[in-house]
Amino acid sequence: MRSVAADGGYLSGLGFESEKPAGLFRWLTTVDHKDIGVLYIAFAAGAALWGGTDAMMIRTELFTAGTDVWSPETYNALFTAHGFTMLFFFATPAFTGLANYFIPILIGADDMAFPRINAIAFWLLPPSLLLVRGGLVTEVLGKMLAAVGVRWELLFSLEPPTTGWTLYTPHSALLANPQVDLVLLGLHLSGLATVMAAINIIVTIFTERGENVTWSNLDIFSWTLLTTSGIILFAFPVLGSSLLMLVADRNFGTTFFAVDGGGPILWQHLFWFFGHPEVYILVLPAFGLVSLILPKFAGRKLFGFKFIVYSTLAIGVLSFGVWAHHMFSTGMDPRLRSSFMAVSLAIAIPSAVKTFNWMATLWGGNVRWAAPQIFCVGGIMTFIVGGVTGVFLASIPVDLVLHDTYYVVGHFHFIVMGVITFAAFAASYYWFPLLTGRMFNRRLGRIHGYLSIVGVFLAFLPMILIGYEGLPRRYASYPESFVPLQQVSSFGALIIGIGVLIWLTNMVQSYRLGPIVTDADVWNLRESGQFSREWQWFETQLEERTKFRR
């Protein structure tokens, strides 16, 4: 860790306390919430880059109509791995990391309620990722051995699974590939990690709040993470149990999901009872970040704070009542079907409440287009497109036409690549000075912001149109007539990718060489009375450093 800098006594943000052991050992043994937060964030960034590679490979295949780049099996493996990696190993850990770092600071606590469990929860993730993408790792080993002349067939027997992230039975139950079992165990392990982190967040917010932090002045980020963690607590155990039932079906002859047992539809019910809340698990923290960051660059307080909190709680509850909208085309009872349609339409209301509150916050504000703000507003734009297309999907007749077409992929990417990833980027810029003690290159940050907005629209609007024309998803080849739109989409993906590389360069180089922050009010927040708790904390840290130097 660098400890002496040009100004004589500067400590980087990752090296605040001096009594910690140095180097690798510190990171392996730490139970400090800030260090664990940083570990989570680094892990999530690595996973995102890996999953992004998969996305680029998917788009390369789809650039031409035939299957001329990868084989169909490789293609299927690619989108399966892409889905798993992005949902379970990028988005969830990224927000858990931010929660770990900032919630204790925002609520005036010394640390999380259970620091050791916190560390364990993090350290379960790397093995889960290795299990889920294990086929690759064993094959790497196999190739290394083969290069020196040893050929160990076992290492080549694990093929990347081709089930899709929804793991629909009977396909996933019947695939002979033993890697599928490892995937199920890996996902189960990551679920344990997620539940442990969620319990920690809930208990921390309930019991560790400082004297002057009450429910009514709890910040919006903590509110959304509290709700998210509540959803996790009810959703993930269902996933865990279903995964174990599937493992049993595959290996021990049980018939939970066999045709003459519970039937394949049982899997879909259990999976989506988890799967739909999961999308809110991902999006609520993103909403929280937008609600937190947007007002700082609008020069005004968040409009309708209370209603944003209520709408968050409402979404948390309603998210468990809509799962069967993923199953409209499976032929369930029409009366049941329409009740799920009604709840799905209802959940659009609290989402719209948030959107209107954000717009009202911007209204008449003194908006500054710094990188975090570009990402917040870009995220609202993509969320509107993602949300409106979602309302269409929630209505049964439309869904029966569009189900399992590219329309669906376009819809959810406006949300996962749009608002979710954008909020993560916004946070990475907004808190960068606090985390590292240095400033990033603001021009590059803005360029990244604009590129990402253009990229997302170019990449995913064509998918909506392709879906309207009826092209089903998950096929490596497609009719010639779709070539132009598919190519626009691949081009958009490339632009997103270039933006990500700019981000990575900016983060790494600014961490090493960026201008040093000496005044905690990097964003001029005092002016509008929004110099919030984490920045006040940062200010005392900077003061301590100066004392240390003298």
Partner 1 sequence: MKRPLAAITGGVTGIAVMSVLLLFLEVETRSNLAIFEAVARFAGMPGNVAFGFVLFVLAGVFAWPLAFMALEEYIPGGPDPATRGMVLAVVLWVVFVLTGRGDLSGGLLAIYVIFTLLAHLCYGFLLGAVYGRLTSGGPLEAERYDPTDVSQ
* Nearest CB to ligand HEM, comparing residues 428 and 530: 428
Residues 48-77 that bind partner 1 (CB under 8 A): 53-54, 56-57, 60-61, 63-64, 68-71, 74
The two tokens of residue 352 are 């719209």
Residue 282 CB, shortest distance to Cu ion, in Å, is 12
Question: Total number of residues binding Cu ion (CB under 5 A)?
Answer: 1
147 binds, among ligand HEM, partner 1, Cu ion, none (CB under 5 to 8 A by kind): partner 1
In order of 152, 200, 222, the CA distances from 96 in angstroms are 39, 11, 11
Residue 70, amino acid:
W
Residue from 250, 276, 411, 413 in contact with Cu ion (CB under 5 A):
276
Other C-beta atoms within 10 Å of 150: how many? 10
3-state secondary structure of 78: helix
Task: Return the number of the residue (35 or 61) whose C-beta is nearest partner 1.
Answer: 61
Q: CB under 8 Å, gap of 24 or more: what pairs does 372-375 form?
A: 372/293, 372/296, 372/297, 372/426, 372/427, 372/429, 372/430, 373/293, 373/294, 373/297, 373/298, 373/426, 374/446, 374/449, 374/450, 374/453, 375/422, 375/423, 375/425, 375/426, 375/429, 375/449, 375/452
371 versus 500: smaller Cβ distance to ligand HEM: 500
Q: Which is nearer to partner 1, 56 or 488 (CB)?
A: 56
165 binds, among Cu ion, ligand HEM, partner 1, none (CB under 5 to 8 A by kind): ligand HEM
User: CB of residue 372 vs ligand HEM: minimum separation in angstroms?
Assistant: 19
The encoded tokens of residue 540 equal 């005392």
Interacting positions 101-160 with partner 1 (CB under 8 A): 136, 139-140, 143-144, 147-149
CB neighbour class for 331 (10 Å; exposed up to 12, middle 13-18, buried from 19): exposed
- Out of ligand HEM, partner 1, Cu ion, none, which partner does residue 276 contact, by CB within 5 to 8 A per kind? Cu ion
Among left, alpha and beta (phi > 0; psi -120 to 50; other), residue 169 is beta
* Contact partners, residue 428, CB within 8 Å, separation at least 6: 503, 507
Question: Per-residue x/- marks for partner 1, 221-260, CB under 8 A?
Answer: ----------------------------------------
Q: Which residues bind ligand HEM (CB under 6 A)?
A: 55, 58-59, 79-80, 82-83, 86-87, 90-91, 164-165, 409, 413, 416-417, 420-421, 459, 473-474, 493, 496
Closest contact distance (angstroms) between CB of 433 and partner 1 is 7
- Write down the least CB distance from residue 347 to Cu ion, Å: 9
Contact 427, 98 (CB under 8 A): yes
Q: Which is nearer to partner 1, 474 or 512 (CB)?
A: 512
Closest CA to 238 of 181, 161, 319: 319
Measured CA to CA, the distance from residue 452 to residue 493 in angstroms comes to 9
411 forms part of the interface with Cu ion (CB under 5 A): no
Q: Which of residues 415-444 bind partner 1 (CB under 8 A)?
A: 433, 438-439, 441-442
Q: Rounded to the nearest whole angstrom, what is the least distance from the CB of residue 284 to partner 1 in the complex? A: 31
| Helices of type H across 414-523 | 421-430, 432-436, 442-468, 483-513
Site of interaction with Cu ion (CB under 5 A):
276
